[in-house]
Amino acid sequence: MATLAAPACATAPASTQSGLWSWIATTDHKRIGTLYLWTALAFFLIGGLEAALIRTQLARPNMGFVSAETYNQLFTMHGTTMVFLAVMPLSAAFFNYLIPLQIGARDVAFPRLNAFSYWVYLLGGIFITLPILFQVAPDGGWFGYAPLTTNQFSSGPNIDFWVIGLQILGVSSLAAAFNFITTIINLRAPGMTLMRMPMFTWMSFVVQFLLILAFPPITVALVFLLMDRFFGTTFYAIAQGADPLLWQHLFWVFGHPEVYILILPAFGLVSEVLPTFSKKPLFGYNVMVYSGIMIGFLGFGVWAHHMFAVGMGAVADSIFSLMTMLIAIPTGVKIFNWIATMWAGEVRFTVPMKFAIALIAMFTIGGISGVMHSSPPADLQQTDSYFVVAHFHYVLFGGSIMGIFAGIYHYYPKITGRFLNERLGNVHFWLNFIGMNLTFFPMHFSGLLGMPRRIYTYDAGQGWDLFNLLATYGTYLLVIATAVFVWNFVRSRTRGAIAGGDPWGAATLEWSIPSPPPEYNFAQIPTVTSRYPLWDLKDPSWHEGEDSHGDTGTPGPSPLREETETHTAKALGIPMPYPTAKPAFAALGLVVMFSGLLFLRNDLFAVAMTVTLGGAAMLIGGLYAWLTSPLE
Amino acid sequence: MSHDAKSPAQAHAHPTGATYLKVAVILTVITIVEVWAYYIPALVASPLFNPSLIIMSAAKFAIVVLFYMHLKYDHKLFKALFTGPLIIAGATILALLFLFAKISL
Amino acid sequence: MASHAIAGHDDGHAHTHHTTTGLDNRKIAIWAFIGSECMLFASLISTYLIYKGKSLVGPYPHTEYTDAAGKVFPAILDIPVTSASTFVLLMSSLAMVLALQAVQLKGTPLPANAGWWTRAQRSSQLWLGMTALLGATFLGFQAYEFTAFVREGLTIKTNLFGSTFFTLTGFHGAHVTVGVLWLMSLLWIDRTRGLGPKDELVVDIAALYWHFVDVVWIVIFTLIYLIQ
């Protein structure tokens, strides 16, 4: 098949900006996406390191590698880091980088708000991560159940960092979600109807709605906790008549949609990878869209399955059990459609393809153990045991992380203009795949043998020893695998093979422009007439005899005008947003404002007020300067 | 959403000031009825008190959203962006009240 | 179907204003924001209702309470005062739509025989100022209510009712405060450079926020104050 005449360039033609300040002041969605990618990978390494320490402590019975207190901080920060600082922002890196490219836009709807989201994330991430270096990290689990996390049971500053940190990170996620909703609705290129959008953009679209609806309940739950801790309210004070289930319900109203926030972007990524390397359109595109929407919608109706053990009564148990079984259907549909996409395709087993296939297999295992939990009597046996740990690591590591790695290998050439090394990639994949299964599969057994979660050590002779040792070895394999990946990731930036605009023979708009893309993305905004514009371009008859793929026909024969794409925005007369550090300044103000609360713990009321009001002044001043200055 | 982009002028086919005044009168009347009902012990004791207050409140809510927030006259996209979350929010309130035994099936 | 899928689309400089739906980005964002706010207030209202009647000590909202020392605390909610403040907030919504209308009508010629009401409808400054003033009045009522409650022995620490009541209404009051500041900024812009029909959207967005804050109060007034 003829390849598109794409220039083989490895550096952005219009990349005139460099230096630290250009990154702080950037409003380019691609640079912000790159910042998200690097930052989130750094947090992924920190979260992984915490996991390695946890597994070292659990390698053998009665180990004294870390203290019980440190262990609590480690598992809390492992979960918090992986969920809020690694997987969500890795997804956000792809939202930022890919959504405008996939819909044929020059940037997101609000470029400066986008920068603000990133800086709030970075500063919030640092805020919540630093305390572990001083042994005062949050220690109440990533779900922070109150009343455990109230002053009565957690009187130190540990939980303060968690409550305030999550509040800060919520601002980042919400701001980004409003931005992407607007971008996807309103910045699509001519002809890019909703039912022609690439599947990654579709799944991202669903996720943004989950974000704007799931974050308010946890914001409220955190405000209650914050007020209980700092201002003596009684939301979680059992002695005053408070209900111990209030936190759990509010948290899981957020927590279960959060699960889909973590997995749907990965689903989107593999839905881009599988058609590309099977040389076939995605099987059942419409059904994939509807099942994604269905998962998002039903995701708000299953939260209490996390709480079967608290005894909600037969009616509530039955409803949530039924809803949980129901949500497995659209998820199962996706699995079958991915398999059918590969069926009879010209499958190329590249590294991204291997990660995508691994997602299908591993997520299915995690999905099936998930359906086991949907039955309350079975759940009562499994809840709070290592079986549950095995389950959610199969969906989060086997699902989200595998999908994100598929995305990184797939899109690295687009982002950097160079391939990741395929041989190192294969080593990474196999070590990762074996390591993951060696770590988490034995946990099914230790869990069913009764090993509870969150214990810092255990006695010998309960049948758990072998499974724990295997899991620890598996974790060490994962550490090696990740080191190989990091080496590959860093080294390929300068030494990877040069990739053209469309190195994989993919079909969607982001591959029609050079790699890395110029700052304005598209010299001319394309007009789209089908779901697979680049395949149409290369071989107009490629899908004859198949269904129409949303193709409405009768497009004009106007090929891409590649020659213009190596000019600067200025030469082409395309207005670009000014670089500005005002969003970063406002983000700093927000974080300073929240951190003032920390001083209340030591009754430093004047200091707290000064810091909080100072931060608020920075935030308002930054916002004012930002809103009154022109965008471009 | 479709590409049947309305021009901003069409999208804002607003009612006139007289309509806004009528709406304000209706809102005021409903509010007066609500507060009046609160002071009639026989009504408060009636099983219909809570449902009728909720219906009146919902009516006021709908009137403000449809006329003052001009959702009645605006693009269907905005209707979708508001009603979708509103339904999920309402369902969440009902589910939580059920789970905490504040209402029963 | 044979097709060339991508065609050059020469949009020149118009791209910055062209959108897929023809709608303004900011208006889509504010509606998405309002959708998210529905969930925020749903969580707050749910908590209030879940804890309703669960306070172990008084004061209570609708009933009298006598403490161990025999001190009597009357039912604390002041319905006449809150009814008045509810009415004030409702009227602020009326002023807000009239402010939007005034901005929209700028540029259309005033009929020669226009009466005072027609003329008044053209003054965006009058209605923006009126909205902000009514909003500030509502906040004044709330400040009075809060201080009265504290004087009568209900603080945010006293019981579940105090915690949930002050947090829910406080959240709403914070939203009103933001709205008043927003309206005052618009009024300031109107006084310095004048708001014209091209600024309709800027006023519309503020108005949507303001009305939403009003509808939240409609719900709060019924569920917290009137239903016992």
Query: CATH number for the domain including A148?
Result: 1.20.210.10
C-alpha distances out from residue A291 to A288, A464, C78, C173, Å: 5, 39, 50, 40
Chain mean pLDDT for chain C: 89
Task: Give the mean pLDDT of A528-537.
Answer: 89
Sort strands A525-528 and C72-73 into parallel, antiparallel or unpaired.
Answer: unpaired
What domain range includes position B105?
75-105
- For A185-240, the pLDDT digits (tens) are 999 999 999 999 999 999 999 999 999 999 999 999 999 999 999 999 999 999 99
Looking at the structure, do residues A523 and A597 belong to the same domain, yes or no?
no
Looking at the structure, do residues A48 and A147 belong to the same domain, yes or no?
yes
* Contact between A186 and C5 using a beta-carbon 8 Å cutoff: no
- For A46-88, the pLDDT digits (tens) are 999 999 999 999 999 999 999 999 999 999 999 999 999 999 9
Classify domain C22-55+77-226 at the CATH topology level: Four Helix Bundle (Hemerythrin (Met), subunit A) (1.20.120)
Q: Which of C6, C9, C169 to mutate to test the interface with A (most CBs of A within 10 A)?
A: C6
Looking at the structure, do residues A102 and A230 belong to the same domain, yes or no?
yes
**Could you tell me which of A259, A266, A267, A269 has the C-alpha nearest to residue A214?**
A259
Residue B31 included in any domain: yes
Residue B88 included in any domain: yes
**% of chain A residues with pLDDT over 70:** 93
Chain mean pLDDT for chain A: 91
- For B33-66, the pLDDT digits (tens) are 999 999 999 999 999 999 999 999 999 999 999 9
Task: Give the mean pLDDT of A414-418.
Answer: 95
Which residues of chain B have a CB within 8 Å of the CB of C27?
78
Q: State yes or no: is A508 an active-site residue.
A: no
Q: State yes or no: is A331 an active-site residue.
A: yes
Looking at the structure, do residues A565 and A616 belong to the same domain, yes or no?
no
Q: State yes or no: is A453 an active-site residue.
A: yes
Looking at the structure, do residues A389 and A379 belong to the same domain, yes or no?
yes
CA distance A90 to A79: 15
Residue A4 included in any domain: no
Confidence of residue A13 (pLDDT cuts 50, 70, 90): very low
> Residues 17-56, chain B: which have Cβ within 8 Å of C?
17, 20-21, 23-24, 27-28, 31, 34-35, 37-39, 44, 49-50, 53-54, 56
- For A423-443, the pLDDT digits (tens) are 999 999 999 999 999 999 999
Looking at the structure, do residues B22 and B66 belong to the same domain, yes or no?
yes
Q: Chain A: list its partners (3+ Cβ pairs within 8 Å).
A: B, C
Residue B3 included in any domain: no
Give me A147's structure tokens: 């009343």
- For C72-130, the pLDDT digits (tens) are 999 999 999 999 999 999 999 999 999 999 999 888 888 888 888 888 888 999 999 99
CA distance C12 to B33: 58
Task: Give the mean pLDDT of A462-490.
Answer: 97
Looking at the structure, do residues A628 and A519 belong to the same domain, yes or no?
no
Looking at the structure, do residues A272 and A314 belong to the same domain, yes or no?
yes
On the question of pLDDT at A133 being above 60, the answer is yes
Which residues of chain A have a CB within 8 Å of the CB of B100?
243, 245, 249
| Residue of A107, A379, A510, A565 marked catalytic | A107
| Residue of A331, A385, A416, A530 marked catalytic | A331
Looking at the structure, do residues A472 and A591 belong to the same domain, yes or no?
no
Residue A12 included in any domain: no
Residue A309 included in any domain: yes
Residue B10 included in any domain: no
* Contact between C211 and B64 using a beta-carbon 8 Å cutoff: yes
Quote the pLDDT of residue A543: 66
Residue with tokens 């995701």: A299
Residue B5 included in any domain: no
Looking at the structure, do residues B63 and B32 belong to the same domain, yes or no?
yes
Looking at the structure, do residues B88 and B64 belong to the same domain, yes or no?
no
On the question of pLDDT at B104 being above 60, the answer is yes
Which residues of chain B have a CB within 8 Å of the CB of A194?
1
Quote the pLDDT of residue A544: 54
What domain range includes position A162?
25-551+558-579
Q: State yes or no: is A38 an active-site residue.
A: no
Q: State yes or no: is A428 an active-site residue.
A: no
Looking at the structure, do residues B52 and B97 belong to the same domain, yes or no?
no
For the stretch C190-194, contacts whose Cβ atoms lie closer than 8 Å and that sit 24 or more positions apart, written own/partner, are: C190/C124, C190/C125, C190/C128, C191/C125
CA distance A23 to A20: 5
Residue B20 included in any domain: yes
Which residues of chain B have a CB within 8 Å of the CB of A212?
85
Looking at the structure, do residues A115 and A145 belong to the same domain, yes or no?
yes
| Residue of A29, A30, A55, A78 marked catalytic | A78
Least confident of A287-301, C190-204, C208-222: C190-204
- For A173-200, the pLDDT digits (tens) are 999 999 999 999 999 999 999 999 999 9
| Residue of A106, A280, A334, A582 marked catalytic | A334
Which residues of chain C have a CB within 8 Å of the CB of B92?
39, 42-43, 46
H/E stretch holding A197:
none
Report the number of distinct structural domains present in chain A: 2
Cβ within 8 Å of residue A152, ≥6 positions away = A237
* Minimum CA–CA partner of C42 in chain A: A217
Which residues of chain A have a CB within 8 Å of the CB of B96?
249, 253
> Residues 73-102, chain C: which have Cβ within 8 Å of B?
79, 83, 86-87, 90-91, 93-94, 96-98, 101
Looking at the structure, do residues A71 and A86 belong to the same domain, yes or no?
yes
* Contact between C163 and A243 using a beta-carbon 8 Å cutoff: no
Least confident of A5-14, A114-123, A600-609: A5-14
Q: State yes or no: is A107 an active-site residue.
A: yes
Quote the pLDDT of residue C27: 95
On the question of pLDDT at A554 being above 80, the answer is no
Residue A172 included in any domain: yes
Looking at the structure, do residues B48 and B83 belong to the same domain, yes or no?
no
- For A387-397, the pLDDT digits (tens) are 999 999 999 99
**Could you tell me which of A53, A97, A45, A91 has the C-alpha nearest to residue A71?**
A53
Residue B19 included in any domain: yes
B103 touches chain A (CB under 8 A): no
| Residue of A252, A260, A458, A626 marked catalytic | A260
* Contact between B100 and A312 using a beta-carbon 8 Å cutoff: no
Q: Taking each helix axis from N to C terminus, what angle separates A402-416 and A465-495, rounded to the nearest 10 degrees?
A: 10
On the question of pLDDT at C226 being above 90, the answer is yes
Residue B105 included in any domain: yes
Alpha-carbon gap: B85 to the closest alpha carbon of chain A (Å):
7
